[in-house]
Amino acid sequence: MSTALPPRIKAFRQNILLNISHKPNARSELEVKHLPELLIVFVNWAYRFVPPRPRSVSFEPDFFKQPHVAYHGAALAALANAVERGDDLQPYLSTRLLGKPGFVRRSGAKGAAVKGMAWQDGQGHAWDKDSCLNNYDLHHLHLGAVTDHGRHVARSSEVAFIRFSRDHARFVHIGSHDFHSETLGEAVAKANARQGLILKGIRPPRPGDDWSEEERRQVENAGLATTRQVGDELVLAARQVSSGDSIRVVRHVSHIKSCLHQIDARLDDPFYANELFVNALKQVPAQPDFEWRMRFTDLMLCEAKTEQMIIIAPGLA
């Protein structure tokens, strides 16, 4: 699938392929994917981690009204401080995250694909998907005390649902691991309404005509977007595409693809390449050796001789 690619992009595709964690029986399915498909798999997996970087912190207006906040007050303060300092947040994430494959073969009769969040590994687990992240753009972090030499915090019955950007973290909700709970869905809808994700000109359904929570769960698991009513407005709640991936992931991969092809074609022009690095306050050697790399969800251009890197397409968090 990479024969028509320019050499640097072809090498980049191979590196992406090697760095996608997968079960042995999934290798052949990965190898035939085109670069954009591979990037969606990779970014979908890499997005589950939170790059360590200082961020400002804020809370949804209703956050402190939730019943579990008082009990977890000290842990929430510690987590917020860790976010602001730019600590590695891996200890707060799932202990199984590093061990889970980023890609599994699609189950179904005679290899038929199963779309959306119902993708499974044949044992009832959608290992390569995080429905909370893909539906709501929320990471879920545990609130226990640090244990096991700092490798992870103790698992807690309730988790904090946080929306990360590159320089900010918004605490949206605290609740159970039920990613389809009504309270989580309502908190997400209110947060989305404040972000302007309102469907203007569309009236909310009449009482009794809206989806039940079970119907909404089935729709979201099928890889479809859902809505919720906030006041008199209809608001986007779950936002994903039919593959089950976050719409942000798909858009980001499209941007990466454009950057690769637009910039790679000009990298052999020494004036253009030098200008890229000079603008980032860096210098390149007389005969540079450029490579494309991913750092979490950032697209990076690396000068391999000096290991200097610049961000070409900033990532999702």
pLDDT (0 to 100) of residue 197 = 94
The residue length of the chain stands at: 317
Q: Tokens 């879920």 identify what position?
A: 140
Angle, helices 247-264 vs 7-19, to 10°: value is 150
Are 290 and 296 in contact by the 8 Å Cβ rule? The answer is no
Q: DSSP label at 111?
A: G
pLDDT (0 to 100) of residue 248 = 93
Consecutive 10-residue averages of pLDDT for the chain (317 residues): 81 92 77 92 92 98 94 95 96 77 58 42 54 92 78 89 98 93 95 95 88 88 87 92 86 97 94 88 87 97 94 96
pTM: 0.89
User: What's the rounded Cα separation, in Å, for the pair 108 and 99?
Assistant: 24
pLDDT (0 to 100) of residue 151 = 77
Angle, helices 7-19 vs 35-46, to 10°: value is 40
